Amino acid sequence: MAAPRANMSYRDIKQVVLDRIHNKIWAPDSLLPSETDLAEEFSSTRTTVNRALRELAEEGYLERKRKAGTRVLNAPVRKAQFAIPLVRDEISETGAEYRYALVQRAVMPAPGWLSARMNIPHGRDVLHLRCMHYAGNAPFQYEVRWIVPDSIPDVLEADFSRSGPNDWLVQKVPFTNLELSFLATKADQSVAEFLDAQAGDPIFTAERITWLRGQPVTLAKLFFAPGYRMTTNL
C-alpha cells in the first residue's frame, strides 16, 4: 500500500488516490479532503495535488466542482480513447503494403438524405467518390465519400486517382468539428464485391462528418472488410 511520504510527484499522488478509491478508503459518492488538506498530508503543494486530482477527474474517476469539493464517482465513467489513424497508417503498421484505388468519381446534385444530414441546400452539386484501400492484396476498407466543394478551393481539380481523398483533405482542409459514428451494416452486392465478402455479411462501418466553422466539408462512410475489429486497451 502506497504510504504518503515527502517529495511525492503528482503521479505518486494519483496512484495513492486511486488506491484509496479501490480500497474504499474513500467510498463512492464520498467527498475527498480539500486540496489544501491533501497537500498538507502529502507534504506537497496545492498545485501538485491539483494536477493529480484534475487528471483523475479527466480520466473519469472523480467529479470536481468549485466549492462543492471533489467527489468519488461511483461508477467510474471510463473513457475509451481510440486513435483515428489514416487508413494508410493503420495498414502500414500491420506491416502490409498499402495500396489504393479510385473506383468512381462523379459530380452530382446532393441526394436528399445527404442535404438533410449535412445541412446542404437542396440540389447543390457535390463531389462523390468511391475508393478502395488494400492491405497487400487483401481488401481492407471501402470508402464512399461526399465532398461539398463550395468552401474548398481546387477540390474539383484534385487528382484522386493516385491517392485518397483523406490524404488530400488532411493536407488542405482543417476541420473544426467532427462527428464520428460506428455501426454494423449489411453488405450489399457492391460492398460485398469490393471487400471480398458475401452479400449480407455484417460489416463494421464508420461514418464521419466534418465541418469547418459551421460549414459542412465532407461525409465519409467507411466499410471495413469482414473480421475487422477496433480495439483499445486502458
Partner DNA sequence: ATCAAAGTTATGTCTATATATATTGGCATT
Partner DNA sequence: AATGCCAATATATATAGACATAACTTTGAT
Which residues are at the interface with its own copies (CB under 8 A)?
21-22, 60, 74-75, 77-86, 89, 170-171, 174, 177-186, 200-205, 207, 228-234
Cβ count near 125 (within 10 Å): 14
Instruction: Report the residue number, 17 or 203, with the smaller CB distance to DNA.
Output: 17
> What is the smallest separation between the CB atom of 95 and its own copies, expressed in angstroms?
19
CB of 108 to its own copies, least distance (A): 26
Residue ranges binding DNA (CB under 7 A): 7-12, 32, 34-36, 43-48, 50-51, 53-54, 57, 64-70
Question: What length is written for the chain?
Answer: 234
147-156's contacts with Cβ under 8 Å and 24+ in sequence apart are 147/217, 147/218, 148/110, 148/118, 148/120, 148/124, 148/215, 148/216, 148/217, 148/218, 149/107, 149/125, 150/124, 150/215, 151/212, 151/215, 151/217, 152/217, 155/127, 156/107, 156/127
All residues at 6 or more sequence positions from 226 whose CB lies less than 8 Å from its CB, including other chains: 187, 195, 197, 201, 202, 203
How far apart are alpha carbons 9 and 14 in whole angstroms? 9
User: Phi/psi of residue 195, each to 5°?
Assistant: -95, 5
Q: Which does 201 bind (CB under 5 to 8 A by kind): its own copies, DNA, none?
A: its own copies
The least CB distance from residue 213 to DNA, in Å, is 24
Cβ 6 to DNA shortest distance, Å: 7
Closer residue to its own copies, CB minimum distance, 103 or 178: 178
Least Cβ distance, residue 62 to its own copies (angstroms): 15
10 vs 134 by CB, closer to DNA: 10
Nearer to its own copies, 85 or 109 (CB): 85
**Partner from DNA, its own copies, none binding residue 67, C-beta < 5-8 Å depending on class:** DNA
What nine digits make up the cell of 173? 482542409
- Considering the complex, state which of residue 74 and residue 231 has its C-beta at the smaller distance from DNA: 74
Rounded distance between C-alpha atoms, residue 22 and residue 25, angstroms: 8
Q: From the list its own copies, DNA, none, which binds 138 (C-beta under 5 to 8 Å, kind-based)?
A: none
